Amino acid sequence: MNKILLIDKPAGFTSFDVVAKIRGKLRSENPGKKIKVGHTGTLDPFATGLLVLLLGSATKEQDKYMKLDKEYEATLKLGHTSTTGDPEGVIEKTSDKVPTTFEIKKVLKEFTGEIEQVPPAFSAIKVNGERAYKLARAGKEVNIKARKITIYEVKLLRYDYPKLEIQVRCSSGTYVRTLAEDIGKKLGTGAYLTNLRRTKVGEFDIKDASSLDEAIKQLT
């Protein structure tokens, strides 16, 4: 039970939901034993993709795995914004501007390297001991300081206005929701994420992951 488990997280599940299901299965198969289960980086409920779970004594190395670089595939909708930066917020049309592919590529290049990023208000970051998203949902002001992150590459995959699909290789601590919003601002169109899929965590690859149902069966 001391190992790493790669899960392809489905949409609609929080990372904690996945951890709870795996922990519940392990404890039902090993009555009387308290088996630790942790993850190495949260995925938003609407997002899918690679969730690296640590079981048993492997949880002792959680900090090491949390710091690994990540890779994502993301779909942005231009011309609109969301209060949360994703499909779960209030959507508003902001622009009819249709950027050219040349403009898109130029702007994407501007986001590579070490940059400062302000994490979203609707995030799990703690502000004065309180989760930011709880403050935001209560309508309270959320002040989060900018922090340095590294974007190694933002690659254009497909562009068919208003849909823009990109691949992002980045350091741990990067919020792709915020990156999408910042790209939209730079383009003068506004943007929010409609889809987000994590494909890599360090050397761990989504192609080696199991669905949640398959993973639960493997633990029997």
Domains of the chain: 4-66+203-218 (3.30.2350.10), 70-201 (3.30.2350.10)
Which residue, 115, 112, 1, is CA-closest to 54? 1
What is the pLDDT at residue 141? 64
Point out the catalytic residue in the list 44, 63, 160, 213. Answer: 44
What is the pLDDT at residue 32? 80
Q: Active-site residue 182, yes or no?
A: no
What is the pLDDT at residue 27? 87
What is the pLDDT at residue 53? 95
Q: pLDDT digits over 83-120, tens only? A: 889 998 999 999 999 999 999 999 999 999 999 998 76
Across the chain, where does the E strand assignment appear? Answer: 4-9, 37-39, 48-55, 70-78, 80-82, 91-93, 113-117, 126-127, 130-131, 147-160, 163-170, 191-201, 204-205, 210-211
**Which residue stretches of the chain have pLDDT < 70?**
1-2, 120-143
What is the pLDDT at residue 31? 84
Q: Give the integer Cα–Cα distance in Å for 110 and 186.
A: 9
Contact between 53 and 7 (Cβ < 8 Å): yes
* pTM for the model: 0.90
